[in-house]
């Protein structure tokens, strides 16, 4: 078993065996989470601070539960982006927190790279809970775990990621992870919502949803932000739903046993048909949420082990 | 006062020749070559002696941002960098857009800097792009060119009138071409790297669009125009055509776009955040070739001091620009060491061409030219430590970089302003 990182800032620096290490451990935590006594002590005595500079309910709750189940002292700091006028307060806040000796810092920030910047300045392990359009590593890991459990493997699958790729950190982390694990990744969406030179990432790009879903094992939908719908990137919500919204008809082009995923929160009737999202035979959206807790437990456990090892090396009491 | 530089490798950008010999300076001007030594004798030990650098895009934080750079610190940095003439930018706070502010700056500059200093003025009031400045009065007060710097005058009518008026006075207008709509909010160049880092990006095509618009206006108005801060290979075609058509057009680039590319940003390193953003390696190579061929006339530092506070931010929010007065020469030596240009060609772009385009003395080793000189060792290696820079701001992308090329001495009008 190997995982040699001080922080979890993105999928990009991870080796495929490290991804497998996280997922294997997460599988065990998934079992624990289904048992009656949901308690382990991997983070006993450690302090975990969740710093969210961007509103989040689901991810923050998931990290909080994950930390508590592993015995950490968890503190949530709601740092609304509006109260942080200048980035220097980002550094200042980090330095202030650092002085309180946290062990795990979970950070979400609206600017790409902000979590990397912060990780440079603190002595603890930092987990990226989403930075701008850059990465959202635990989301990609929980998606990977869900796929692996549903499909029995995480390689040689055809996976279609659909929607607003350009503004999505979920899409970035996912396409990097799925590519590293040797899957066939397709990106489906209007060209205005595709990042530049995305074809250089070893993916296939489609602007026709039916062609993109043809024979897919996994259909991964992304959330379309409301502010993108006003004619700047796409003409209208209804035209988007008509061309790129997932419904039973479009899904019929995928494999019969294809699963439907969504990172949430969903815009029913915009990117996904409401009935389809609730169809327990196709949709694994609830399982994604469940795996989110397990994956975050695994990631924090592994980072805490490295943290304790580094401190022992330095002669500090772990 | 007389000084003789003996045993020098003389870099003459005007003739394109590199020769061994001596150079005599009398009363602040070059008296001749290989004369009998007289006065103070400086043994150059075979190192390079060239006309001092004429740097045309220097930002100094006066007025408004003296905590970032003052005339005193910029002057010291220039002297240490072999820059004997600085042409300063008007993108200060407030902008230099009246004869009064220009006079204030000129007075401060003359008192505090050991090198020659000339000032550019804004082309529109407050660099707001609406009303032209008093071009005539500003020229009388000493403005050597007019530019709104990185702010594009989006209103074509305003810009065409300013160009027309400037033409009647023979004023030089400088622009940093860019299509402002397309480049709005961009932090890096679009492409694989931008996508990987999730940063807002702009296509290099935005620069070509801005340049083509400007060139059409120059053709229409007949103004003297310098397209500065070019960075994209797609801009070179229109530039070449404009020059071939005989328009009064020159072009410039800053040293960073000749020596760095977009990948240098790496893990969101904000010292590499520039405006326009760093480009691809293909662009960089095309620009180096354009310097070698003379299509691009002038290399400048585009010295832009920023303090730690404005750089220690998430990449998108961080300020753009880099200091370069002291690193211009060693960075430019990378082009020579890579075999892309020879020293006389490089010095044409660093010294002769800017002096001629701005109508300034300097850039020459001919008899009677002012004795603005730099003595340097082109091969001396060192590792740059940004905290040793003389600039008040330390935002260089070359921190901890291995560089070659050290300034040994700098003379302005025959007077030593830097060196042992």
Q: Average pLDDT, stretch A220-236? A: 83
Residue A318 pLDDT > 50 = no
Chain B residue numbers touching A195 (CB-CB < 8 A): 194-195
Domain boundaries, given as residue ranges, for chain A: 7-132+289-304, 137-285
- The residue among B108 and A318 whose pLDDT is bigger is B108
Q: A87 pLDDT exceeds 90?
A: no
Q: What is the mean pLDDT of chain B?
A: 97
Buried b (16+ CB within 10 A) or exposed e, B315-333: bbbbbbbbbbbbbbbbbbb
Please state the rounded mean pLDDT for residues A100-108: 95
A137-285 shares the fold of A7-132+289-304: yes
Contact at 8 Å (CB) between B170 and B221? no
Interface of B with A (CB under 8 A): 190-192, 194-199, 201, 203, 267-268, 309, 312-318
Instruction: Among A88, A91, A111, pick the best mutation site for testing chain B contact (most B Cβ within 10 A).
Output: A111
Q: What is the tally of helices (H) and strands (E) in chain B?
A: 14, 18
Of A231-235, B61-65, B267-271, B406-410, the least confident = A231-235
Between residues A212 and A228, the one the model is more confident about:
A212
Q: Is A311 among the annotated ligand-binding positions?
A: no
Residue to mutate among B188, B189, B195, with most A CBs inside 10 A, is B195
Strand order in the sheet with B224-227: B53-58, B83-88, B116-121, B143-147, B172-175, B224-227, B249-254, B298-300
CA torsion angle A153 A155 A157 A162 (round to 10): 100
CA distances (Å), B62 to each of B99, B129, B277, in order?
15, 22, 25
Dist. CA B26–CA B52, nearest whole Å? 17
Q: Is the bond preceding B199 in cis, omega lying within 30 degrees of 0?
A: no
ipTM of the modeled complex: 0.89
What are the pLDDT digits (tens) for A184-216? 999 999 999 999 999 999 999 999 999 999 999
Residues B37-59: tens digit of each pLDDT: 999 999 999 999 999 999 999 99
Residue B351's closest CA among B110, B27, B14?
A: B14
List beta partners, residue B374: B50, B410
Q: Which CATH class is domain A7-132+289-304?
A: alpha beta
> Among all residues of A, which ones are annotated catalytic?
58-59, 86, 108, 136
* CATH, domain B52-361, list 3.20.20.140, 3.90.650.10, 3.40.605.10, 3.40.50.720: 3.20.20.140
| Tokens linked to A108 | 């979400």
Interface check for A262 against chain B (CB to CB < 8 A): the answer is no
CATH assignment of A137-285, given 2.60.40.10, 1.20.1260.10, 3.40.50.1370, 3.40.50.2300? 3.40.50.1370
Q: Which of A117, A169, A198 lies nearest to residue B314, judging by beta carbons? A: A117
Q: pLDDT: is A313 or B48 the higher one?
A: B48
> In this predicted structure, what is the pLDDT of residue A314?
75
pLDDT bin (cut points 50, 70, 90) of residue A90 is: confident
- Does residue B97 register a pLDDT over 90? yes
The reply, when asked if residue A108 is annotated as ligand binding, is: yes
Cβ proximity of A197 and A173 under 8 Å: no
Instruction: Give the number of other CB atoms < 10 A from CB of residue A73.
Output: 15
The percent of residues in chain A predicted with pLDDT above 90, rounded, is: 81
Chain B, nearest residue to A9 by Cα: B267
Over residues B308-314, mean pLDDT: 91
Lowest mean pLDDT among A196-200, B17-21, B357-361, B410-414: A196-200
Whether A112 has its CB under 8 Å from any CB of chain B: the answer is yes
B25: pLDDT strictly greater than 50:
yes
pLDDT confidence of A315, banded at 50, 70, 90?
low
The reported pLDDT for the residue numbered B52 is: 98
Residue of B nearest to A86 (CA): B313
In three-state form (DSSP H/G/I as H, E/B as E, the rest C), the secondary structure along chain A is: CCCCCCCECCCCCCCHHHHHHHHHHHHHHHHHHHCCCCCCCCCCCCEEEEEECCCCCHHHHHHHHHHHHCCCEEEEEECCHHHCCCCHHHHHHHHHHHCCCCCEEEEEECCCCHHHHHHCCCCCEEEEEEECCCECHHHHHHHHHHHHHHHCCCCCCEEEEECCCCCCHHHHHHHHHHHHCCCEEEEECCHHHCCCCHHHHCCEEECCHHHHHCCCCEEEECCCCHHHCCCCCCCCHHHHHHHHCECHHHHCCCCCCCEEECCCCCCECCCECHHHHHCCCCECHHHHHHHHHHHHHHHHHHHHHHHHHHHHHCCCCC
What is the predicted pLDDT for the residue at A96?
Answer: 85
């Amino acid at each position: 078993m190997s995982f040699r990182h001080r922080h979890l800032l993105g999928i990009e620096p991870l080796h495929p065996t490290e991804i497998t290490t996280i997922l294997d451990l997460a599988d065990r935590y998934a079992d624990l989470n289904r048992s009656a006594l949901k308690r382990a002590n991997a983070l006993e005595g450690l302090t975990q601070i969740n710093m969210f500079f961007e509103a989040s309910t689901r991810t923050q709750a998931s990290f909080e539960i994950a930390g508590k189940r592993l015995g950490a002292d968890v503190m949530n700091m709601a740092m609304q982006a509006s109260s942080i006028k200048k980035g220097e307060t980002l550094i200042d806040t980090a330095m202030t927190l650092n002085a309180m000796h946290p062990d795990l810092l979970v950070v979400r920030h609206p600017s790409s790279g902000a979590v990397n910047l912060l990780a440079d300045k603190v002595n603890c392990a930092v987990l990226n809970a989403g930075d701008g359009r850059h990465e959202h590593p635990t989301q990609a890991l929980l998606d990977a775990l869900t796929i692996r459990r549903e499909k029995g493997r995480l390689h040689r699958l055809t996976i279609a990621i659909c929607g607003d790729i350009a503004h999505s950190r979920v899409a970035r982390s996912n396409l990097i992870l799925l590519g590293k694990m040797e899957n066939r990744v397709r990106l489906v969406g209007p060209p205005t919502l595709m990042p530049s030179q995305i074809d250089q990432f070893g993916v296939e790009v489609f602007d026709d949803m039916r062609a993109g879903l043809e024979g897919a094992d996994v259909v991964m939908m992304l959330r379309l932000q409301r502010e993108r719908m006003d004619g700047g990137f796409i003409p209208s919500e209804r035209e988007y739903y008509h061309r790129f919204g997932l419904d039973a008809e479009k899904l019929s082009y995928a494999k019969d046993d294809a699963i439907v995923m969504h990172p949430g929160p969903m815009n029913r009737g915009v990117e996904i048909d409401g009935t389809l999202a609730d169809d327990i035979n196709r949709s694994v959206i609830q399982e994604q949420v469940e795996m989110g807790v397990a994956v975050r437990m695994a990631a924090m456990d592994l980072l805490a082990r490295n943290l304790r090892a580094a401190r022992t090396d330095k002669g500090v009491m772990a | 006062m007389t000084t003789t530089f003996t045993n020098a490798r003389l870099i003459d950008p005007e003739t394109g020749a590199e020769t061994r010999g001596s150079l005599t300076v009398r009363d602040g001007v070059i008296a001749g070559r290989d004369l009998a030594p007289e006065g103070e004798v400086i043994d150059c030990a075979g190192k390079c002696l060239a006309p001092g650098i004429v740097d045309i895009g220097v930002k100094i934080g006066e007025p408004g941002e003296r905590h970032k750079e003052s005339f005193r610190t910029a002057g010291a940095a220039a002297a240490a960098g072999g820059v004997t003439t600085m042409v300063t930018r008007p993108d200060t706070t407030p902008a230099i857009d009246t004869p009064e502010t220009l006079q204030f700056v000129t007075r401060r500059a003359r008192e505090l800097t050991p090198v020659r200093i000339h000032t550019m003025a804004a082309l529109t009031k407050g660099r707001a792009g609406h009303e032209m400045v008093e071009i005539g009065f500003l020229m009388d007060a000493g403005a050597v060119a007019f530019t709104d710097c990185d702010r594009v005058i989006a209103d074509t009518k305003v810009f065409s009138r300013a160009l027309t008026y400037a033409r009647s006075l023979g004023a030089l207008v400088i622009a940093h071409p860019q299509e402002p709509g397309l480049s709005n909010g961009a932090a890096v160049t679009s492409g694989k790297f931008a996508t990987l880092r999730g940063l807002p990006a702009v296509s290099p095509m935005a620069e070509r669009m801005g340049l083509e618009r400007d060139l059409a206006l120059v053709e229409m108005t007949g103004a003297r125009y310098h397209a500065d801060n070019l960075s994209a290979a797609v801009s070179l075609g229109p530039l070449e055509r404009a020059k071939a058509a005989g328009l009064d057009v020159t072009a410039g680039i800053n040293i960073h776009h000749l020596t760095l590319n977009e990948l240098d940003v790496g893990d969101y390193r904000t010292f590499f955040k520039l405006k326009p953003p760093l480009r691809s390696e293909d662009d960089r190579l095309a620009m180096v070739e354009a310097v070698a061929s003379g299509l691009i006339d002038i290399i400048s530092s585009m010295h832009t001091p920023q303090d730690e506070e404005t750089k220690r931010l998430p990449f998108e929010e961080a300020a753009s620009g880099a200091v370069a007065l002291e690193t211009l020469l060693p960075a430019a030596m990378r082009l020579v060491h890579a075999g892309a240009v020879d020293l006389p060609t490089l010095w044409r772009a660093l010294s002769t061409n800017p002096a001629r385009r701005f109508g300034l003395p300097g850039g020459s080793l001919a008899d009677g030219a002012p004795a603005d000189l730099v003595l340097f060792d082109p091969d001396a290696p060192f590792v740059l430590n940004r905290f040793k820079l003389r600039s008040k701001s330390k935002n260089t992308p070359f921190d901890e970089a291995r560089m070659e090329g050290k300034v040994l001495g700098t003379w302005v009008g025959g007077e030593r302003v830097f060196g042992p």
